[in-house]
Amino acid sequence: MGEIRNKDGLTEEEFLKQYKPSKYERPSVTVDMLILCMSRYLDNLKVLLIQRKNHPYINCWALAGGFVGIYESTYDAACRELQEETGLVTNTYLEQLYTMSNPDRDPRMRVIDVAYITLMREQPVLAGDDAKKALWFDISLHDDILELKNEEENINIKYCLHKKIFKNGVVDTTGYTQESITDEKLAFDHNEIILEGLLRLKNKILYSDIAFNLLPEEFTLPDVKRVYEVILGKELYKSNFNANIKSKLISTDCKITSMIKGGKKAAGYKYKGQ
Amino acid sequence: MGEIRNKDGLTEEEFLKQYKPSKYERPSVTVDMLILCMSRYLDNLKVLLIQRKNHPYINCWALAGGFVGIYESTYDAACRELQEETGLVTNTYLEQLYTMSNPDRDPRMRVIDVAYITLMREQPVLAGDDAKKALWFDISLHDDILELKNEEENINIKYCLHKKIFKNGVVDTTGYTQESITDEKLAFDHNEIILEGLLRLKNKILYSDIAFNLLPEEFTLPDVKRVYEVILGKELYKSNFNANIKSKLISTDCKITSMIKGGKKAAGYKYKGQ
DNA sequence: CAAATAGTGTCTCTTAGACAATATCTC
DNA sequence: GAGATATTGTCTAAGAGACACTATTTG
């Protein structure tokens, strides 16, 4: 195999030795993490945002992220950043979401951003090493309004969504353009990443068990149901939901208090884990 | 907004002027296109592969692709390469598939590759400008064997798939490792892209209309059914399938000959397009 | 004890799955 | 005309959707 020569008469070894990779101008590559958890009383999803302390988008809120090292995969970079930026444990669900590549998405330079989505239980976050503020924001997505809110700090970020249908081959594909309708804004195209992530989550809980990443180890049936309801954005029927979900659960034979506000004691369950 | 100053006292404009983007070593970024169509008699899917004429993976078959220009999005790059490399018309279904980022996936240098999937009708392909050979390969994916075959040139590429289950948070995720079991091989990690694309397609035809991108404008019910059967890898019931699909179709009030070998004349239909 | 939530049962309607029967076309 | 394929119809089983009822817990 190494014996094959190319049109210049070079073997692979010789070729690699003389290869100059600087033929093309190269973009920077970053990863960003859409870090989601459920609120304490299971009222809504939350997203972790970090306040930027420098241009561009100074003072704006952004997803946690950073540059991809030259010797690491984007997945490894995402794990590393997750730890570094927030001090969060890494044993969480982590899935590649979408690669953002609009050439003018970053005014500093050309940056291609590989977005990941992470599902975890809520936990206190350390401020990053460079004194950036990190906060959980309540998410609501109703009536074409995407709203991110932090009550304690009284921060409110709102986007208005406009449906956009474009032809992709013979099929119509629905996309969204977004318009910020508050003073506070998200940095870069992070609003698009958040929306994309919410849609992915909504779609994927219907045929997978990823929702259990958002719950503690032990939970009640109303707790799981609430998680599905928040993500799907609609009420579900108790009886039907319970019957379906039970096949994925093991009873712990304890009665525990539901996480839901006003919830009662109910049977404890664990995720069976296939 | 431009008036806000960072900790060095710079406005955004001043900051951008002095910003040096060369702090981090940057990977090259490429796009690759998984170009799929149906075979003439609707027997199987086909993938377009290009034979490499230089190291690395000299003489191996690879997906069409190329470098992302510094002023274009990866989507635009994919469209451009589609045209340049193969002369194929660009009005085809084009969807981002996955970003491949293993640091040693290219022995020349660090390359991050954004893979796209394209669905089209079969058409003759021009050899690329740099005299590379471009051929359609019949795909078969059965019993954990991925096989790519070109009858005319007698080329056979086979991979054996091994199921690999890994924990992602609390859920088990199924992946595959692949092992080439023929002399001919695919370049880089393109085998992984092909498998990922086939799985995406299999999943997505169940809830979308993308399959119609693989058919000519007018077709018969048995034709559509066959496309679904090939992609799903199983036989479907005529009666049930027809009843379901008809809501997406308009009759052309003509009888046309089915594309299927041994097929009869049957009612012609067009995709209604939502 | 009152009000709300947890848990169970049942009914309907739709859909998926499976065959059977007839009509039509190709060779 | 024989053998295949196209087209339509029917039956069953499983699942989604909807609601009612009882049991339990909280305040």
A33-83 pLDDT, tens digit each: 999 999 999 999 999 999 998 889 999 999 999 999 999 999 999 999 998
CA distance B200 to B191: 14
Q: How far is CA A127 from the centre of its chain?
A: 19
Selecting from B67, B74, B171 the residue whose C-beta is nearest the C-beta of A93 gives: B171
Query: What is the SS3 assignment for A111-164?
Result: EEEEEEEEECCCCCCCCCCCCCCEEEEEEEEECCEEEEEECCCCEEEEEEEEEE
Check whether residue B174 has its CB closer than 7 Å to nucleic acid strand D: no
Residue whose entry in the numeric block shows the structure tokens 């069409």: B64
**Other beta carbons less than 10 A from residue B40's beta carbon:** 11
Mean pLDDT, 10 residues at a time, over chain B (274 residues)?
A: 79 86 82 96 96 91 94 96 80 95 94 97 72 89 95 96 95 95 96 97 95 96 96 94 94 94 93 86
Homologous superfamily of domain range B28-204? Nucleoside Triphosphate Pyrophosphohydrolase (3.90.79.10)
Helices H / strands E in chain A, number of each: 5, 13
CATH 1.10.10.10 domain extents, chain A: 210-271
Q: Which residues of chain A are within 8 Å of residue B9 when distances are taken between CB atoms?
A: none
**Inter-axis angle of helices A238-245 and A221-232, nearest 10:** 110
Distance of residue B88 Cα from the nearest chain A Cα, in angstroms: 13
The pLDDT tens digits for B154-196 are 999 999 999 999 999 999 999 999 999 999 999 999 999 999 9
A73/B6 Cβ within 8 A:
no
Cα(B48)–Cα(B67) distance, integer angstroms: 18
Bigger pLDDT: A123 vs A261: A261
**Portions of chain A given CATH number 3.90.79.10:** 28-204
Per the structure, the residues numbered 245 to 264 in protein chain A that have their CB within 7 angstroms of any atom of strand D are 255, 257, 264
Question: Greater confidence, A91 or A35?
Answer: A35
Is residue B37 within 8 A of residue B46, CB to CB? The reply is yes
Q: Which residues of B touch A185 (CB under 8 A)?
A: none
Could you tell me if B163 and B60 are in contact, meaning their C-beta atoms sit under 8 angstroms apart? Answer: no
Fold of A210-271: Arc Repressor Mutant, subunit A (1.10.10)
pLDDT exceeds 70 at position A127 = no
Q: Model's pTM, two decimal places?
A: 0.95
Q: 3-state DSSP call for residue A40?
A: coil
Read off the pLDDT of each residue in A237-244 and give the average, rounded to a whole number.
95
Protein-proximal nucleotides of chain C (any atom < 7 Å from a CB):
4-10, 16-20, 24-27
- Give pLDDT, residue B242: 95
Residue A131 pLDDT class (50, 70, 90 cuts): low
**What's the pLDDT score for residue B127?**
62
- Residue corresponding to tokens 């293993």: B102
List for chain B the helix, strand, coil content (%; round to 5): 25, 35, 40
